[in-house]
Structure 1
Amino acid sequence: MDFPEAFTQQMQSLLGQSEWQAMLAALEQKPSVSIRVNPFKGTKEQLAILNSQFSISSVQWSSMGKYLSERPDFTLDPAFHAGAYYVQEASSMFLEQAVRQCPTPQVVLDLCAAPGGKSTLLRSLLPDDTLLVANEPIKSRANILRENIIKWGHEGTVVTCNYPKDFAKLGPTFDIIVVDAPCSGEGMFRKDNPALEMWSPANVELCAERQREIVETIWPTLKPGGHLIYSTCTYNTRENEENVRYFCQTLGAQTVEIPVKTEWNITGSLLPDFPEPVYRFMPHKTRGEGFFLAMIKKEGTLISKPHPHPKPDLDDNVQCSMLNVQCLINSLHQPIISRLIKHLYPLHMGIAVSEKKGNKTLPHHSLAMSRNLSPDAYPTADLTLEQALSYLRHEAIRIDDPKGYTIVRYNGMPLGFVNNLGNRANNLYPAEWRIRRV
């Protein structure tokens, strides 16, 4: 790979010539392929199917992460579309270790959440009665986030499309805020050629300033004693250690140590005068792409009011005001969701159960994806691989029975709804999500 001279000088200065050469050699290798299994859907049987095709090994710092020996065509795997797993870069799964150091939260914000890797990871780890707000300010990316959250199938998530400043009216609301900040992308050069082409020292400075603005803007919504997890996929200290030091000095934050095992080969701070606990994933030391994470804590004592009910209750319906969609939410979340609706722009909440199209009310795709849907709520029809791919392409399919709204499945995993008329089945899979390849 050919790197800009300024980038090469930067890395030589940070690592030294010998280690920089080791990193260069690592970057010439193929990127690793990794997935994270959905604990609500990813069964041992589905993993066995993958294992029959590829050699699978565990990601050391992730309870649900798996490396694959080769990259399959995920687009042509119905299990991927059913939300049985998420394709995620292994290094970024280290977020799990940070979350495990935090007290049990009531409300968590993933501020820069698209396409959904960290949000689905958070949702897999958090207790059922914790509400996750997954936010993405750019509408096109927010729609992708919404798709992945729906496929994950957990009712305890709200997807919003807002800029950090829009959260100001909420006040101190969140126990944990995750900021996977937009960055210069140095850690993805091996996989993302446009990031390499766009790199410049000026862009690094621009990114660092924007990252500071994002964290400073959202900081007032973090509860006293709450935790902010800051991450990037870049190497330079300007966007990493120097920003963390700035947050500590300007916001009065304290860094929080995350226990790690020696064999994980995680690198610490590369800034000589900043020996605080930060965590770097370097491709010549860890199996994955470049990644940086630090956790900081706000001054004060975190006070979380206990929920009035010991278990989630899905009996309350909340009408989503934008898409004529009827949603089912956990009643414990209703007060905070009411505030979110008032001040933010929600795209999805809880489990959408139905939507009005013209004068018809149709079952929503989110309902078929839900982990809470009773197996006998709707008739089911099992599809072959060929039929499943036709369904996912939004093509017409035929099933023998039963008539009416039916959930179609592949290997026991729900893929979505059809309306079976007998002579044909109207395909209700969201057209915007369809497989576009023949």
Structure 2
Amino acid sequence: MIKSEFFDIIIKSINRYYDINHKEFLYSFNEKPHIAIKVNPYKKINHLFDLLHISDEVSWCSDAYYLSDRPDFYKDPLLYAGAYYVMDPASMFIDYIFKNLQLSNDIKVLDIAAAPGGKSIIVNSNLSNNAVLWSNDTNSNRAKTLNYNLIKWGRANNIVSNAKISDFHSLQNQFDLVILDAPCTGSGFYRKYENWQEHFSIEYIKRCANRQKEILKDLIPIIPLYGYLIYSTCSYTSEENEDIAKWLISHGFEEVHLSIPDQWGIIKSKYGYRFFPHLTKSEGFYYVILRKIENKQSKFQNFNYNKKNQSSIRLQAPPHIDFENFIDFNDEIELKKIRQNISLISSSIAKWMDWKGFFFNGKVLNVGTTFIHENKKIPSPQFALSIYTSNSIPQLHLNISDALSYLQKKSFKLNTDKGIYLVKYLNLALGWIKIIDDDRFNNYFPVDWRIINM
């Protein structure tokens, strides 16, 4: 339950732009949060609806569904196979925005504060093979989670980094669309995480709003003229939402309006769109879609950079490697050597990175899908989870008990011939295993990914 003093602060802030029904809004804090999943369109399986007790569709997102109850996701091997991703329904609105912006087929998208990865996953699902998604997070641990979630989604058209926003100044005017899910008070999730209220205050709202402006000052110069910015928060306060949108409009942007069905319950504010739990089947959320129509970044600071201080990312022709017959090649992917990895990357990334050299000073965690490390004798776990594995690979199909043992890196009984196998559960890949003899095998599921607590 939300504390009365915090509720009063939130109501006063919301009412600056929208006259909310206080009683219905307050009552919604006593209701259970809705549970929803985004289904991976590249890894659809039969009977998923029955396995997860799927009820209704999420109106504003394709392949997205509410669940009638919350299963124990961490005991479901399909989660680790990348069959679906669990996220709040309001976060899925990025799908509707993306589909209605009429973007080009070869768009480049930067999701600058992307962890844990829900919005990036939805954008990735909408991108053609000619497009590029760059997902970043400034926090190293969150960036690792982001990378893992995109690996599970299985495509080779994305780059993942752990970098400061200023590291992207060498890539000015490169991105057609920039997404900022800004750090905020998190007040929109207070019925889901009640302990977040411990930090809430008027002073905390001000600190968050100031931080959002500082992030945007760093971000605005990266966005090209006529490029798009999608700004969002999981906060109710106007200081973090409409006030920021108004500030952006005063700094060279115009709002892009969408046509939204009334029955969805999404509120059109003076600036942007609001999700309230008593009106939508979701938590509290805010979006505004903006287009840059004037360059005003000189108001902030000069972002000149020197390539001598930048790190280059070089793509090289790969050496001869084993297991190349494991790859289901198509015209849109290429095999390249990037540092010590042999990776599958989209042709669009290859073309972009080969263009006059590629300089970036942040830490790049992943480019495309790692196929194999040059010093390893077995394909990468990333490749096992990709959508590019050939049907000719020897496969080992496990029941749920053995699949969970595999994901925990525990021993279990196998009765099959020696060799390397792609481990599968319900026909979706989990990773690699090498059978040595009747009683021994090597489990190549990464230690960092394993299930620790059941």
**Structure 2-normalised TM-score?**
0.87
Correspondence 1:8 to 2:15:
no
Tell me: CA distance 1:167–1:69, structure 2 relative to 1, closer, same or farther (3 Å).
Answer: same
Structure 1 Cα separation of the partners of residues 413 and 373 of structure 2? 24
Shift, 1:350, TM fit: 0.7
Matched with 1:130 is 131
Correspondence 1:345 to 2:363:
yes
Shift, 1:131, TM fit: 0.6
Structure 2 Cα separation of the partners of residues 239 and 162 of structure 1? 24
Shift, 1:49, TM fit: 2.8
Say which is worse superposed, 6-15 or 217-226, in terms of deviation: 6-15
Letter in 2 for 1:86: Y
Shift, 1:341, TM fit: 5.8
Contact 1:407/1:414, CA 8 A, preserved across alignment: yes
Shift, 1:112, TM fit: 0.4
Tell me: CA distance 1:204–1:4, structure 2 relative to 1, closer, same or farther (3 Å).
Answer: farther
Root mean square deviation of aligned Cα: 2.0
Equivalent pairs counted in the alignment come to 413
Matched with 1:315 is 334
404, 407, 411: which one aligns with 1:392: 407
Letter in 2 for 1:416: G
Correspondence 1:114 to 2:130:
no
Matches within 5 A, 1:71-90: 71-90=70-89
Shift, 1:4, TM fit: 5.5
Contact 1:111/1:178, CA 8 A, preserved across alignment: yes
Contact 2:13/2:237, CA 8 A, preserved across alignment: no
Matched with 1:65 is 64
Structure 1 Cα separation of the partners of residues 352 and 136 of structure 2? 15
SS in 2 for 1:315: strand
Shift, 1:146, TM fit: 0.8
Contact 1:128/1:312, CA 8 A, preserved across alignment: no
Letter in 2 for 1:191: K
Matched with 1:285 is 279
Matches within 5 A, 1:194-213: 194-213=195-214
Letter in 1 for 2:336: N
Contact 1:340/1:346, CA 8 A, preserved across alignment: no
Letter in 2 for 1:299: I
Structure 1 Cα separation of the partners of residues 342 and 79 of structure 2? 26
Structure 1 Cα separation of the partners of residues 113 and 62 of structure 2? 23
1:284-305 deviations in Å (ceiling 9; x for gaps):
100010000000001279xxxx
Tell me: CA distance 1:67–1:44, structure 2 relative to 1, closer, same or farther (3 Å).
Answer: same
Tell me: CA distance 1:387–1:208, structure 2 relative to 1, closer, same or farther (3 Å).
Answer: same
Shift, 1:13, TM fit: 5.8
Shift, 1:259, TM fit: 1.6
Shift, 1:224, TM fit: 1.8
Shift, 1:328, TM fit: 1.4
Contact 1:379/1:402, CA 8 A, preserved across alignment: no
SS in 1 for 2:260: coil
1:124-148 deviations in Å (ceiling 9; x for gaps):
0111211100101110110111110
Correspondence 1:431 to 2:447:
yes
User: Which runs of 5 or more residues in structure 2 are unaligned?
Assistant: 296-329
Shift, 1:258, TM fit: 1.5
SS in 2 for 1:397: coil
Structure 2 Cα separation of the partners of residues 342 and 80 of structure 1? 33
1:8-54 deviations in Å (ceiling 9; x for gaps):
2431563599712211111101111100000000234323432xxx2
Tell me: CA distance 1:55–1:160, structure 2 relative to 1, closer, same or farther (3 Å).
Answer: closer
Matched with 2:221 is 220
What fraction of aligned residue pairs are identical, expressed as a percent? 33
1:38-78 deviations in Å (ceiling 9; x for gaps):
0000234323432xxx2421011111210001000000011
Structure 2 Cα separation of the partners of residues 316 and 100 of structure 1? 30
SS in 2 for 1:225: coil
328, 341, 349: which one aligns with 1:325: 341
Letter in 1 for 2:333: L
Matched with 1:31 is 33
Matched with 1:272 is none
Tell me: CA distance 1:383–1:218, structure 2 relative to 1, closer, same or farther (3 Å).
Answer: same
Structure 1 Cα separation of the partners of residues 78 and 13 of structure 2? 45
**Structure 1-normalised TM-score?**
0.90
Matches within 5 A, 1:223-262: 223-250=224-251, 252-262=252-262
SS in 1 for 2:69: coil
SS in 2 for 1:231: strand
Structure 1 Cα separation of the partners of residues 55 and 361 of structure 2? 45
1:394-434 deviations in Å (ceiling 9; x for gaps):
12334322422211111111111111112322111111111
User: Which runs of 5 or more residues in structure 1 are unaligned?
Assistant: 270-274, 302-310
Contact 1:82/1:413, CA 8 A, preserved across alignment: yes
> Segments of 4+ in structure 1 off by > 4 A?
15-18, 338-341
Letter in 2 for 1:119: S
Contact 1:111/1:179, CA 8 A, preserved across alignment: yes
Tell me: CA distance 1:128–1:352, structure 2 relative to 1, closer, same or farther (3 Å).
Answer: same
